[in-house]
Amino acid sequence: MAKHERGLRFQPAGGVRATQIPTGKKQRLTIERLSNDGRGIAFLDGRTWFVAGSLAGEEVEARVLNAHGKVVEARTERVFQPSAMRRPAPCVHFGRCGGCSVQHLPHSEQLALKQRMLAEQLQRVASVEPQEWAAPLTGAEFAYRRRARVAVRWDAKAKRLDVGFRAAASQDIVSIEECPVLVQALQPIMMQLPAMLRSFSKPQVLGHVELFSGSSTAILLRHTAPLADADLATLQTFCKDHDAQLWLHGEGDPQPTDAAQALGYRLEPWKLDLAYRPGDFIQVNAAINTAMIEQALDWLAPKSDERVLDLFCGLGNFALPLARLAREVVAVEGVATMVERASANAISNDLHNVAFFQADLSQPLAQANWAAEGFSAVLLDPPRDGAFEVVRKLKALGAERLLYVSCNPATLARDTVELVKQGYRLKRAGILDMFPQTAHVEAMALFEASK
């Protein structure tokens, strides 16, 4: 065996490795265009820069957050030549807080950006364009978010409790005492929460806080050890002052301090009340959620004699309104506890033509017993990774109409390729502005079987 030679240094083909740009370095850049996530794109010395807080045509000073190979991530520190589209950021924490990354764009331009993102993905990946583009589904720009997770961390060295939201591209916590996108019911809670938590005798045991607003207001506190009696009393008084339920999350699942308390939200057009618990998925924008369901039912147009399939059904957000219109609804979800919750919601709303099942939705469904009879229409609302395996076999279920609600245009476009292969055509599509002030795109697409 050859003796190992110490001290040798090998270089990749092509010469000396390029020197990496250090974090924190400032660089003057000219922004050429916007990326799909709303960041400005600049090119310098063979590298591509993605600059948060910048707009096309601007000359800015950017601070490096991270650099890897020929890609540099940065944030805007100064704007030398602002775009005519730039508006003053409505939130004082813009540029430091990791949320609401495009609030320097007028709302109309935010919508245009999201529309382009959806259209580009469908064209580039699936080579399709809908027969009809629907107008964006929009609501209020601010005061829309009915749920929020607040980061809490004890800094032992500084003997300080940090309370706020995560910083952009960092695990740092930006101290927040106001957040314009929270619904009004949560604004005073958010404003007074940091001072209340900092008054605890044992702040070291605090994890995070979640805020909820629906049929009730609620505060959930995650704690890693039992709370001191005085601290619990402080928390209970705070909740009472804000007319909020208190939920504690230590070992096991979150529990309300009053067992009779429950969380929920109402879908007024259908006279439905849906119960949920912390940890369950709900849409954070109540107004757009209701409008989204109305549009989905309008596009899918279920008839009173039809059997409809709802995939990734969650708590029954679509399934229960569908049950008001269709002969029968079969709703399927991968998480067993959500199936239980959805079934209970159907019973509490006196709906008996909807059945909920648990199934692995990363696998084809044609062999399931509940699929044997087939369906006239299908609605699916998958998570960000889409529904690739499910859509590959959807044609076998016999559905003539398919409505796809997406929170990721990339996976919607990928799944569209499979649907087109099965003979479906993209009849209508449009964006849903579920998260104003962010570049996050939700979309709705209607497919019909080719005749």
What is the C-alpha separation between 349 and 333, in angstroms, rounded? 19
Q: H-helix or E-strand containing 345?
A: helix 336-348
Q: Are 31 and 56 in contact (CB under 8 A)?
A: yes
Closest residue by Cα to residue 355 from 375, 369, 366, 370: 370
Distances in Å between the Cα of 271 and the Cα atoms of 421, 438, 448 are 39, 31, 30
Taking CA atoms, 301 is separated from 298, 355, 448, in Å, by: 5, 20, 12
Task: Show Cβ contacts of residue 56 under 8 Å, excluding neighbours closer than 6 positions.
Answer: 31, 32, 33, 34, 40, 83
Q: Which residues carry out catalysis?
A: 407
Read off φ and ψ for residue 279, nearest 5 degrees: 105, -25
Cα 244 from chain centre: 25
For the chain, the C-alpha Rg in angstroms (whole number) is 25
Q: Which of 21, 25, 49 is nearest to 35 (CA)?
A: 49
Determine the straight-line distance between the first and last CA of the chain, rounded to whole angstroms: 70
For residue 378, the surrounding DSSP H or E stretch is strand 377-380
CA atoms within 13 A on the CB side of 44: 15
What's the token pair of residue 407?
Answer: 């929170």
- Contact by Cβ (8 Å): 86, 62: no
